[in-house]
Structure 1
Amino acid sequence: MTEKLSDETRGPLLTPLFEAGWSLTDDRDAIAKTFVFDDFIAAFAWMTKVAFWAEKWNHHPEWRNVYKTVHVELITHDVDGLSALDAKLARKMDSLMET
């Protein structure tokens, strides 16, 4: 079962993400980041890659795409906040930007 991040685990898991451009959302215990690509095709290709991992891990992002920009919010709805799955998917999203 997935657990909400404890105070002890938040720092080690979230600090590297904050350094990579992720931020806490204002209205709930979630993290967000906006990814900008060269064009729509690049944005959609990245979203497709992410979708495979999200499905594999059964952890799906909240996201919206407008042309070459994808805004992502990650939260674990089962725990009404952040879990290790959010950090894991955020790291994967960042790594897929590099490929």
Structure 2
Amino acid sequence: MSPLSEETIEKKLLHFPDWEYYDNALHAEFEFDNFKDCFSAMSRIAFECEAQNHHPEWKNVYNMLTISLSTHSAKGVTEKDFKLAEAIEAIVEVQE
């Protein structure tokens, strides 16, 4: 899988307002009501990641979840990253 051009990434990001592109990856930060809700979302995201065989770099501090997506084998952002971002958005949206 080839990395997407910066122009393509920027166009696709118009449909992902919670995400930004920098440091050769897609980044988002989500805030939940509490740690339990954040961890619940992380668990659901983990199952989706396994299903897609694509895994984020992420960090959790209390009710905040920070996620970075890139395709390491392609050394950049690919369609796989946008597919996972879309799934993450659906999971987080349900939590709200």
The C-alpha deviation readout for 1:59-80, integer Å capped at 9, x for no partner, is: 0000000000000000100011
- Could you say which residue in structure 2 is the equivalent of 1:98? 93
Task: Report what 1:4 is aligned to.
Answer: 3
Aligned with residue 23 of structure 1, among 12, 20, 23: 20
Structure 2 Cα separation of the partners of residues 36 and 67 of structure 1: 9
Q: Which residue of 2 aligns with 1:66?
A: 61
* Percent identity over paired residues: 36
SS of 2:54's equivalent?
coil
Partner of 2:52: 57
Letter in 1 for 2:18: G
Measure, in 1, the Cα distance between the counterparts of 2:57 and 2:18: 17
Post-superposition, which runs of at least 4 consecutive aligned residues in structure 1 deviate over 4 A?
none
Query: Deviation at 1:22?
Result: 0.6
Q: 2:72 aligns with which of 65, 70, 77?
A: 77
Structure 1 residue identity aligned to 2:9: R
Unaligned ranges ≥5, structure 2: none
What do residues 27-76 of structure 1 show as CA deviations (whole Å, max 9, x unaligned)?
A: x2101010000000000000000001101111000000000000000010
- Report the TM-score, using the length of structure 1 for normalisation: 0.86
Q: Structure 2 length as normaliser, TM-score?
A: 0.88
How many correspondences in the alignment? Answer: 94
What secondary structure sits across from 1:65 in the alignment? strand
